[in-house]
C-alpha cells in the first residue's frame, strides 16, 4: 500500500497530540506537517500539498471551513469538531468525512479507510457542505450517500422513505438501503414537508412512493409503499393524512 | 346472514368516511338512558296487563311521543351549561338563569304532554307532571355541569403536566447554555488525551470537571440560588483550569482578590459567564497569548464590585449595544430582577483596547 501524505490543523495542544499520535500510528499515512491556527494551516497546506488533511473547524484566525474555501487545490479533507450541529449535518448530507471529538482510534481508522477507498469527494460536494454549514438549514435537493466506498448523489425525489435507527437513519431509494449518520428529525427539517410526511417518530415517508393507505381497527392508517413494505402511521399523522385527502 | 360488509367497507373507503364525531360517548349514554326510560314507562303504565301476560305496543309509542320532546329540549341544556361555565357566572346569576330555563322547559314539555291527553283533566292534575319536569331539568343540568367540570379538570391537569415538561426542558436548556457543548466535548477530548500522557493530571482534571458539573446542577435545582463569592470563585478556577488544558499557553490569568469579600452572597453563575465571554471573544479566535484579569473588592458602602477584563480585540460601545449575543444581556437582566435599581453592570471597551466588564451589587 502506498502511503499518503497527511497534514493536520488543530489549535488545542492535547488534541494536537491525539492527532499526531493517530497519524503516526496509522500505516497508510505519513505526517508531513501541522498547524495550530487557520491562517498558518492555509499557508502550509498550499506549500506542502498533502493528500490528506485533518482539520478542526473552530480555530483561531480562520475557521477550518474558511481554509477549505480558500484552498487552491482539493486534498482529502477530514473535519474534526467537538460540536457544530449545522456543519455536521452538512458533512453528513454531502458525504464529507468528519470526526467528532472525542474520537477513538477505531473511529479514526474507520475515517481513514473510508477516504482511502472512496476517493476525494467532488468539489461540488464540498461546496454544498460549506454553503449548508454556514447558512444553516435549507431546503435539500440532493443527498450524497455512501455505499461500499462509492458516493452516490441521491435527489430528494428519489427517496422512498426513511427509518430512524437510533442515531442513524436508513434511507430507502432505488430499492437499496443507505445508512447515514444523521438523525431523522434533522433530515425532516430540510425536506419538503408537503412531500415528506413524518408518519411516526421513526419513519419519514415520501408520498410519491405510497401505494395505498388503509385504516386499521383503531382508524390509524397503514401506509403501504410501492416496494411492498407497510408502515403504521400514528394518530397525528393519520389525522393529517386524512385532512390532506379530498 | 353473516355480516361481512364492515371490513370491506372500511378497506375500500378509508379516506372518505371519517367517523361521525357528533355522537360522543356522553350523547350515546344520554340517548340510551332516555330510551330505557321510555320502555320502563311503557311497561309501568300497563303493569296489570303485563302481569296478566299481555303487552300493548301502542303504549311504547305513547311513552316515546310524550317523553322524546322533553329529552330533545333538555339536550339544549348542554350548550347552556357550557356558556355558563365559560362565563364563570356567579351563583345568583346561575340560579336565575337555571330557574328561568327550568320554568321555560317545564312549560314547553308540559304543553306537549297536555296536548297528548285525550280526556280533560282537573287543574290539580297538572301540578305533579309540571313539578316532575322541573326536577328532571335539575337532574340533567346537574349531570351536565359535573361532566363539564370534570373534563375541565382533566384538561387543566394535562396543561399542568405540559407546563412541568416545559420547565424541565427550560432547565436543561439553561444547563446547555451555561456549559456549552463545545467546551464540554473539547475538554473531554483533552482529558482523554491526558489519561495516557499524564494520568495524575487527567485525574485532577476529571475532579475539576465533576465539581463544575455538580455546581451547575446544584444551583440549577435549588431555586433560590445565592452562593458565596468564594464558591463562585472556586467554580471559575475549575473552569479556567480546564480551559487552560485546551488553550495551553494562550491563557494567562491574573487574580486580584479582596480577602474580606469571600463570604459576600451573590447569584450563582454571575462571574463565570463573564469569564466565558472573554474566553470566547478574546482567546478562542486568536493564537497569540492573552491576559485575563479577575478582581473582587468589597467597597466601604458594603457593595461588592467584581470585574473581568481581557486584553483582546475589544469592541466599540455601539457594536456591543447592537450585539445579538445573549451572555452579557442575560446577566444584566438577572441582576436587574434580583436587585432592582441597586446593581450595576458596566462595560469598558474600545476597539483594540481589551474588554472589561464590572458589576456592582449589594
Q: Indicate the pLDDT class of residue B310, thresholds 50, 70 and 90.
A: very high
Quickly state the pLDDT bin for B92 (edges 50, 70, 90): very high
CA distance A25 to chain B (A): 15
The CA distances from residue B309 to B99, B252, B293, B336, B343, in Å, are 75, 12, 5, 22, 19
Flag if A102 and B188 touch (Cβ within 8 Å).
yes
**Residue with more model confidence, B39 or A152:** B39
Nearest CA in chain B to A35: B287
The CATH code of the domain that includes B288 is 3.30.565.10
For residues B162 and B187, membership in a common domain is answered with no
Tell me how many domains chain B contains.
2
Picking from B15, B194, B247, the nearest residue to A245 by CB comes out as B15
Give yes or no: residues B201 and B157 share one domain.
Answer: no
pLDDT at res. B287: 85
Residues in chain B: 362
| Domains delineated in chain A | 4-135 (3.40.50.2300), 155-244 (2.40.50.1020)
| Cell numbers at A9, concatenated | 490543523
A186 prior amide bond cis, ω within 30: no
Residue B285 CB neighbour total at 10 angstroms: 18
Spell out which residues of chain B touch residue A215, defining contact as CB-CB under 8 Å. 10, 14
- The answer to whether the beta carbons of residues A180 and A145 sit under 8 Å apart is yes
pLDDT at B214: 86
Q: Which three cell numbers stand for residue A190?
A: 430540510
**Do A37 and B287 make contact, defined as CB atoms within 8 angstroms?**
yes
Average pLDDT for residues B82-90, to the nearest whole number? 86
**In angstroms, what is the C-alpha Rg of chain A?**
21
Dist. CA A110–CA A180, nearest whole Å: 15
Q: How far apart are CA A33 and CA A22, in angstroms?
A: 14
Q: Cell 415528506 identifies what position?
A: A196
- Tell me which residue of B75, B64, B215 sits closest to B137, measured CA to CA: B75
Q: Is the pLDDT of residue B161 over 70?
A: yes
Residue owning grid cell 438549514: A137
Q: Is the pLDDT of residue B118 over 50?
A: yes
Q: What share of chain B has pLDDT > 70, as a percent?
A: 86
Question: Cα(B283)–Cα(B291) distance, rounded to whole angstroms?
Answer: 9
Q: For residue B166, is it within any domain? A: yes
- Tell me if B9 is assigned to some domain: no
What are the residues whose beta carbons fall under 8 Å from the beta carbon of A121, sequence distance 6 or more?
A94, A95, A96, A97, A144, A151
Asked if residue B224 and residue B164 are part of one domain, the reply reads no
Q: Is the pLDDT of residue B233 over 90?
A: yes
Residue B237 has pLDDT above 90, yes or no: yes
Query: Which position has the grid cell 387543566?
Result: B156
Of all residues in chain B, the percent with pLDDT exceeding 90 is: 29
Residues 6+ apart with CB under 8 A from A246: none
Closest chain A C-alpha to B188 CA, distance in angstroms = 7
> CA nearest B195 in A: which residue?
A14
Q: What is the pLDDT of residue B183?
A: 87
- Neighbour-count burial for A177-187, b at 16+ CB within 10 Å, e otherwise: ebebebbbebb
What per-residue confidence (pLDDT) applies to B21? 58
Q: Which residues have CB under 8 Å from A27's CB, separation 6+?
A: A1, A3
CA distance B22 to B7: 23
Across the interface, whether the CB atoms of A82 and B190 are under 8 A apart is answered: no
Closest CA to A140 of A89, A102, A100: A89
| Best of B9, B12, B14 to mutate (most A CBs within 10 Å, chain A) | B14
Residue B87 lies in a domain: yes
Q: Are residues B162 and B199 in the same domain?
A: no
Could you read off the pLDDT of B171-227 as tens digits, one per residue? 555 555 667 788 889 999 999 988 888 899 999 999 999 998 888 877 766 555 678
Per-residue model confidence (pLDDT) at position B53: 83
Distance between CA atoms of residues B189 and B195, nearest Å: 10
Domain co-membership, B183 together with B162: no
Query: Residues B354, B310: one domain?
Result: yes
Q: Is the pLDDT of residue B139 over 90?
A: yes
Give the pLDDT score at B13: 34
Q: Answer yes or no: is pLDDT of B4 > 70.
A: no
- Using the structure block, give the residue that is written with the C-alpha cell 471597551: B349
pLDDT of residue B10: 33
Q: Which residue of B has its CA nearest to A59?
A: B285
Query: Can you give the pLDDT at residue B220?
Result: 64
Max Cα distance, chain A (Å): 69
Q: Within a domain: residue B12?
A: no
Query: In this structure, is residue B267 part of a structural domain?
Result: yes
B187 and B295 in a single domain? The answer is yes
Examine the fold and report which residue of B110, B138, B172 is the final residue of a domain before the chain moves on: B172
| pLDDT of B98 | 92
B357 forms bridges with which residues in the sheet?
A: B308, B347
Angle at B102 between CA B99 and CA B108, to 5 degrees: 140
| Coil/strand/helix, residue A229 | coil
Same domain, yes or no, for B41 and B91? yes
Question: Are the C-beta atoms of A123 and A138 separated by less than 8 Å?
Answer: no
Instruction: Report how far residue A10's alpha carbon sits from residue A8's, in angstroms, rounded to the nearest whole number.
Output: 7
Question: Of B152, B172, B192, which marks where a domain is finished?
Answer: B172
Q: What is the pLDDT along chain A (246 residues), one digit of tens a residue?
A: 678 999 999 999 999 999 999 999 999 999 999 999 999 999 999 999 999 999 999 899 888 888 988 888 888 889 999 888 778 877 877 778 889 999 988 989 988 988 888 766 667 777 777 777 766 555 677 788 877 777 778 888 888 999 988 778 888 888 888 888 888 888 887 788 888 888 888 899 988 888 888 887 777 888 888 888 888 888 888 888 888 776
> b vs e for B159-198, b when ≥16 Cβ sit within 10 Å of the residue's Cβ?
eeeeeeeeeeeeeeeeeeebbeebbbbbbbbbbbbbeeee
Residues B296 and B152 in one domain: no
- Predicted pLDDT of residue B86: 84
Q: Are A56 and A13 in contact (CB under 8 A)?
A: no
Helix, strand, coil abundance in chain B, percent, nearest 5: 65, 10, 25
Residues of B in contact with A61 (CB under 8 A): 285-287
Number of neighbouring beta carbons within 10 Å of residue A222: 16
**Choice among A123-127, B80-84, B201-205, B310-314 with the minimum mean pLDDT:** A123-127
Domain region containing B278: 179-361
Q: What is the dihedral of CA A108, A114, A116, A120, to 10 degrees?
A: -110
In a domain, B11, yes or no: no
In 3-state terms chain A splits into helix, strand, coil percentages (rounded to 5) of: 35, 35, 30
Residue B280 lies in a domain: yes
A13's enclosing H/E stretch is helix A13-25
The predicted complex's ipTM stands at 0.70
- Residue B357 sits in the same domain as residue B212: yes
Residues B168, B195 within the same domain: no
A-B Cβ pairs (cutoff 8 Å, strict): 75
**Structure-block grid coordinates of residue B143:** 349531570
Q: Rg of chain B's alpha carbons, rounded to an integer?
A: 39
**B297 exposure class (CB count in 10 Å sphere: 0-12, 13-18, 19+):** middle
Q: Decide which of B273 and B29 is more confident.
A: B29
Alpha-carbon span B213 to A95, nearest angstrom: 35
- Same domain as B339, residue B192: yes
Dihedral sign from CA coordinates of A132, A137, A140, A145: positive
* Final residue in a domain of this structure, among B172, B199, B225: B172
Query: From the CA of B15, how many Å to the nearest CA of chain A?
Result: 6
Facing B248 at nearest CB: one of A13, A82, A242: A13
How many Å apart are CA B54 and CA B46, to the nearest integer? 9
Residue B305 domain-assigned (yes or no): yes
Amino acid at each position: 500500500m502506498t502511503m499518503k501524505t497527511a497534514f493536520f490543523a488543530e489549535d488545542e495542544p492535547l488534541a494536537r497530540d491525539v492527532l499526531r499520535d493517530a497519524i503516526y500510528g496509522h500505516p497508510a499515512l505519513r505526517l508531513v506537517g501541522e498547524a495550530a491556527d487557520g491562517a498558518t494551516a492555509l499557508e502550509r497546506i498550499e506549500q506542502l500539498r498533502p493528500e490528506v488533511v485533518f482539520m478542526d473547524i473552530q480555530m483561531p484566525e480562520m475557521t477550518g471551513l474558511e481554509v477549505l474555501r480558500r484552498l487552491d487545490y482539493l486534498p482529502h479533507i477530514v473535519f474534526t469538531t467537538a460540536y457544530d450541529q449545522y456543519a455536521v449535518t452538512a458533512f453528513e448530507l454531502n458525504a464529507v468525512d468528519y470526526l467528532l471529538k472525542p474520537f477513538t482510534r477505531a473511529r479514526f481508522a474507520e475515517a481513514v479507510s473510508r477516504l482511502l477507498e472512496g476517493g476525494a469527494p467532488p468539489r461540488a460536494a464540498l461546496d454544498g457542505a460549506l454553503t449548508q454549514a454556514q447558512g444553516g438549514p435549507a431546503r435539500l435537493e440532493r443527498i450524497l450517500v455512501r455505499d461500499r466506498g462509492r458516493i452516490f448523489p441521491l435527489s430528494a425525489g428519489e427517496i422512498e422513505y426513511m427509518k430512524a435507527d437510533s442515531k442513524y437513519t436508513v434511507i430507502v431509494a432505488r430499492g437499496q438501503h443507505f445508512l447515514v449518520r444523521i438523525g431523522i428529525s434533522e433530515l425532516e427539517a430540510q425536506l419538503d414537508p408537503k412531500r415528506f410526511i413524518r408518519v411516526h417518530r421513526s419513519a419519514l415517508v415520501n408520498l410519491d412512493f405510497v401505494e395505498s393507505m388503509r385504516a386499521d381497527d383503531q382508524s390509524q392508517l397503514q401506509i403501504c409503499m410501492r416496494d411492498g413494505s407497510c408502515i403504521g402511521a400514528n394518530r397525528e399523522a393519520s389525522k393529517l393524512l386524512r385532512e390532506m385527502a379530498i | 346472514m353473516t355480516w361481512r360488509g364492515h371490513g370491506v367497507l372500511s378497506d375500500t373507503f378509508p379516506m372518505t368516511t371519517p367517523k361521525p364525531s357528533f355522537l360522543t360517548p356522553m350523547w350515546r349514554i344520554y340517548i340510551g338512558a332516555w330510551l330505557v326510560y321510555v320502555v320502563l314507562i311503557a311497561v309501568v303504565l300497563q303493569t296489570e296487563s303485563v302481569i296478566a301476560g299481555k303487552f300493548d305496543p301502542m303504549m311504547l309509542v305513547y311513552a316515546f311521543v310524550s317523553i322524546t320532546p322533553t329529552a330533545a329540549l333538555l339536550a339544549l341544556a348542554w350548550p347552556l351549561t357550557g356558556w355558563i361555565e365559560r362565563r364563570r357566572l356567579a351563583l345568583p346569576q346561575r340560579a336565575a338563569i337555571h330557574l328561568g330555563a327550568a320554568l321555560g322547559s317545564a312549560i314547553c314539555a308540559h304543553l306537549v304532554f297536555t296536548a297528548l291527553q285525550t280526556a280533560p283533566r282537573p287543574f290539580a292534575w297538572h301540578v305533579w307532571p309540571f313539578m316532575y319536569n322541573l326536577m328532571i331539568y335539575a337532574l340533567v343540568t346537574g349531570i351536565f355541569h359535573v361532566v363539564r367540570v370534570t373534563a375541565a379538570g382533566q384538561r387543566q391537569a394535562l396543561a399542568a403536566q405540559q407546563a412541568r415538561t416545559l420547565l424541565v426542558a427550560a432547565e436543561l436548556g439553561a444547563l446547555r447554555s451555561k456549559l456549552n457543548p463545545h467546551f464540554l466535548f473539547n475538554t473531554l477530548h483533552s482529558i482523554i488525551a491526558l489519561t495516557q500522557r499524564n494520568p495524575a493530571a487527567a485525574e485532577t482534571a476529571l475532579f475539576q470537571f465533576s465539581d463544575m458539573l455538580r455546581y451547575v446542577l446544584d444551583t440549577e435545582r435549588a431555586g433560590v440560588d445565592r452562593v458565596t463569592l468564594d464558591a463562585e470563585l472556586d467554580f471559575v478556577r475549575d473552569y479556567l483550569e480546564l480551559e487552560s488544558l485546551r488553550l495551553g499557553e494562550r491563557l494567562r490569568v491574573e487574580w486580584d482578590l479582596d480577602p474580606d469579600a469571600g463570604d459576600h452572597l451573590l447569584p450563582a453563575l454571575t462571574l463565570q459567564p463573564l469569564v466565558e465571554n472573554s474566553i470566547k471573544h478574546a482567546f478562542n479566535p486568536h493564537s497569540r497569548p492573552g491576559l485575563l484579569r479577575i478582581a473582587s473588592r468589597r467597597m466601604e458602602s458594603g457593595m461588592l464590585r467584581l470585574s473581568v477584563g481581557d486584553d483582546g480585540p475589544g469592541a466599540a460601545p455601539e457594536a456591543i449595544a447592537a450585539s445579538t449575543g445573549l451572555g452579557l444581556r442575560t446577566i444584566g437582566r438577572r441582576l436587574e430582577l434580583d436587585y432592582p435599581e441597586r446593581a450595576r453592570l458596566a462595560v469598558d471597551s474600545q476597539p483594540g483596547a481589551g474588554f472589561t466588564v464590572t458589576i456592582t451589587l449589594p
